[in-house]
Amino acid sequence: MKKVTIPLIRLIPGLIIGPGSWLGPYIVMNSLFLPALIQHLDAANKVSLVALFSTMGMIVAAISNMVAGALSDRTRSRFGKRAPWIVVGAIAFMISMIWASFSTGIANLLIAWMVGQAALNFIVAPMVAWIDFAPEDGKGAASSAYGGLGMALGNNGFNVVGALFLSQYRLGFVIFGIIAFVGTLIAVLIVHEPSNLEEKLEQPAKKEKVSWSALSTVFPKWSIGRDYYLALIAKMFQGVGNFAITGYILYIMTDFLHQGSQTQSSIQLINMVMLVFGILMGLLAGPASDKFKVLKYPVAYSTIFLAIAALALFFFFRNTTGILIYAFFAGLGMGLWNALDNLLNLRVIPDQDRVAFFLGVYNLGNTVTQAIAPIIAAAVISIFGYSAIFFVSFGFALVGGICMLQIKSVAR
């Protein structure tokens, strides 16, 4: 069976617009609008409630991501195997965020948010598999477009605008829910997957009972999937290190740094600096990786910049200078990581017939770690205070880099 290849002239714009369109609105709502609405509904329990939403979101995201990836891998349609699920997920995500905007109680908001988490992962798991449609000599550029430019746009670009809606967070849910749908749809139309109706699916010889051996065909044992699992562990640790800070950035600005009326402008400043570095790395890192055949080392060493950023606000300056130092190093580290980590994961996938499944599980690092990090951060805050978050971020980022360096199948 001939492998589907999509020209970079179509694929790269889709890989920039697509992840930016789902990640940007999600980041804004997760880090700004959701905490603001929770604070409005139950200010006394806001920290523990953010952790509750994160815990439930992690469970829903993990399940829905694996289901979405597996369904996508086995889909045949005139619109390809990824596009139908991406569009359905985008519609459901938009509706759930509009639903969340009208929530008048924590229970209703929690249900809407969980539906949104499930819908989001029906976008994420199939979309990241678009990278595999790139020509072999352009996969670095494709990964850089998705992780570097698209993720930079999503992680930081939208927050600059999102901060303007801090006082109108209910309206923000509606607007950014619609943006997610429209942007995702545009990306699907640009990529324009070809029909795969002629693609044959491998059928199992017979139905097997649920057993450890059957489960091992879904998740290969360590000796087979070692490098993939190391990359996944690294992604989780790096993600927690990053999101432990960004998940509580609103409360850090107000309760730790006491920015007061400067909170909005400080958040915008961080995201503008990180956006610039994210775009810069997105433009340079992928093509440089393709040219110099280096991949593992820049991804692993990017965590050093994240570790430095984590300590900047605590050890150096608890003011605008400290915020700039944090933004500089975090932007450099995240830009480099996002530009190349999906390509590295593509190199260590243990089963090339299930690309969407394994890339989708790997990319749980973008959703599940945003759920895990606030849980850890909430516990740390309640025991040691806000300053301890930065030490947690420092430690997790370094462990992520060490795990990445242990990968053997990617030499450098």
Which residue, among 127, 125, 132, has the nearest Cα to 68 in the 3D structure? 125
Tokens of 175: 């607007």
* CATH code of the domain made up of 10-195+222-405: 1.20.1250.20
Residue 138 pLDDT > 60: yes
Convert the pLDDT of each residue in 169-196 to its tens digit. Answer: 999 999 999 999 999 999 999 999 999 8
pLDDT score for 97:
97
pLDDT score for 82:
93
Convert the pLDDT of each residue in 337-372 to its tens digit. Answer: 888 888 888 889 888 778 778 877 787 766 678 677
Q: Please give the average per-residue pLDDT across 75-83, as a whole number.
A: 92
Radius of gyration over every alpha carbon of the chain, rounded to an integer in angstroms: 20
Burial tier of 10 (Cβ tally within 10 Å: 0-12, 13-18, 19+): middle
Place 89 in a pLDDT band, splitting at 50, 70 and 90. Answer: very high
Percent of the chain's residues with pLDDT above 70: 92
Residue 207 pLDDT > 50: no
**165: Cβ–Cβ under 8 A, 6 or more apart, which residues?**
28, 32, 33, 171, 172, 175
**176: Cβ–Cβ under 8 A, 6 or more apart, which residues?**
24, 25, 28, 29, 33, 97, 158, 162
Q: What is the mean pLDDT of the chain?
A: 85
107 vs 38: CA distance, rounded Å: 11
Convert the pLDDT of each residue in 143-152 to its tens digit. Answer: 888 877 887 7
Place 216 in a pLDDT band, splitting at 50, 70 and 90. Answer: low
pLDDT score for 205:
43
Place 208 in a pLDDT band, splitting at 50, 70 and 90. Answer: very low
pLDDT score for 2:
65
pTM: 0.74
350 vs 67: CA distance, rounded Å: 18
pLDDT score for 210:
44
Most confident option among 91-100, 210-219, 281-290: 91-100
